[in-house]
Structure 1
């Protein structure tokens, strides 16, 4: 038998699910077919009641939520879930999306989700481009790209010192070896390559060591 399966999620900042519950019941969802996750964040992977609701759905059923953000805080995740439901023959009904109700069983609802999927992909591409641009800028600036700091060996410090003694700019040599000038001065002094008073620039923040 075709059913309406309702799902509600309330975060730790909300006090009750009465509003969502009432909306879902008014939309025709039976109490036995209503699943509620309490104290759960949209970004959190573990939402047991959502998992149960998705398991209960069968082809021809309709998954009903009050608002789209109840499924998660990421556009990509929401769209992916909507596509999973469609692949199983399940329709998605959102009671309030931009002030109106949307049902993927209707041509208008299906078109809206197609547009949302395109926007979600664009959002993903823009974020990826920003990350790659940031990495490229940091790499060109000789900055740490994150992760485990690179280990600078004593041999590298000695080689760097040789280049500097030959007239190469300290800042450039330090960048080429993936460290800051402060790190070079500190390590060079520790190896006895320069007197302790050398390198007043050590007040700058240190990079990889």
Structure 2
């Protein structure tokens, strides 16, 4: 008897897979055949629940995912994965791809999957370019790049540098400030520039 094996994934623990799970269940996946990874990047080759889902697939079964980006990041990896599934006699069904389902068991579905995988990779690369460009423009303009706010002021760093120059161990001074020695050295060098 053939089964639908569902897979859902979110990249951070704060995100929810509720919508993905609802879509997979509505597509006919049984709750017992649903595998979910929380806080796992799609760029990772090994994902615990994804690996379990693949182990559960047998000849005639179909892996069901909601969107292409749940599968991976690169076109090459996605196509190799689709070929691996075909070699095992299993199919891949992507819900919500271009307004409808795409099933790689059909020639048209296989072609659409290839095109959409290439588009998904292109979209990811364009987004990365935009972020990199935005960061460099903000850096050039001297704007804040975000990150954790500094808890230790420049004046505290200057006082700490004087302690180290007076003979106190740098590791202990940094620990007293609540930072690593490397961070202490980096902050003190930045003040001298």
TM-score (structure 1 length as normaliser) = 0.53
Structure 1 SS opposite 2:82? helix
Looking at structure 2, the residues matched to 96 and 46 of structure 1 have their Cα atoms a distance apart, in angstroms, of 24
> Per-residue CA shift, 1:17-67, capped at 9, x if unaligned?
100000000000000000000000111233010000000000100110000
Looking at structure 2, the residues matched to 47 and 37 of structure 1 have their Cα atoms a distance apart, in angstroms, of 7
- Preserved CA contact (<8 Å) 2:102 2:113: no
What corresponds to 1:76 in structure 2?
Answer: 76
**What's the offset of the Cα at 1:11?**
1.1
What corresponds to 1:128 in structure 2?
Answer: none
TM-score (structure 2 length as normaliser) = 0.57
**What's the offset of the Cα at 1:115?**
4.7
Structure 2: runs of 5 or more not aligned: 123-193
What corresponds to 2:89 in structure 1?
Answer: 89
**What's the offset of the Cα at 1:116?**
5.8
Q: Given the superposition, is the C-alpha separation of residues 2 and 43 from structure 1 closer, same or farther in structure 2, using an over 3 Å criterion?
A: same
- Preserved CA contact (<8 Å) 2:5 2:62: yes
Looking at structure 2, the residues matched to 115 and 10 of structure 1 have their Cα atoms a distance apart, in angstroms, of 24
What corresponds to 2:106 in structure 1?
Answer: 106
What corresponds to 1:5 in structure 2?
Answer: 5
Number of positions where the alignment pairs a residue of Structure 1 with one of Structure 2: 120
Looking at structure 1, the residues matched to 59 and 8 of structure 2 have their Cα atoms a distance apart, in angstroms, of 21
Tell me whether 2-11 or 97-106 shows the greater mean CA deviation.
97-106
What corresponds to 1:135 in structure 2?
Answer: none
Structure 2 SS opposite 1:101? strand
- Preserved CA contact (<8 Å) 1:65 1:93: yes
Structure 1: runs of 5 or more not aligned: 124-209
**What's the offset of the Cα at 1:99?**
2.2
**What's the offset of the Cα at 1:14?**
5.0
Looking at structure 2, the residues matched to 68 and 116 of structure 1 have their Cα atoms a distance apart, in angstroms, of 8
What corresponds to 1:172 in structure 2?
Answer: none
Looking at structure 2, the residues matched to 63 and 45 of structure 1 have their Cα atoms a distance apart, in angstroms, of 17
Where in structure 2 are the equivalents of 1:9-88 lying within 5 Å? Answer: 9-12=9-12, 15-88=15-88
Structure 1 SS opposite 2:19? helix
Spell out structure 1 runs of 4+ moving beyond 4 A: 114-117
What corresponds to 1:189 in structure 2?
Answer: none
- Preserved CA contact (<8 Å) 2:60 2:89: yes
Looking at structure 1, the residues matched to 21 and 115 of structure 2 have their Cα atoms a distance apart, in angstroms, of 29
Where in structure 2 are the equivalents of 1:130-169 lying within 5 Å? Answer: none
Structure 2 SS opposite 1:92? strand
What corresponds to 1:138 in structure 2?
Answer: none
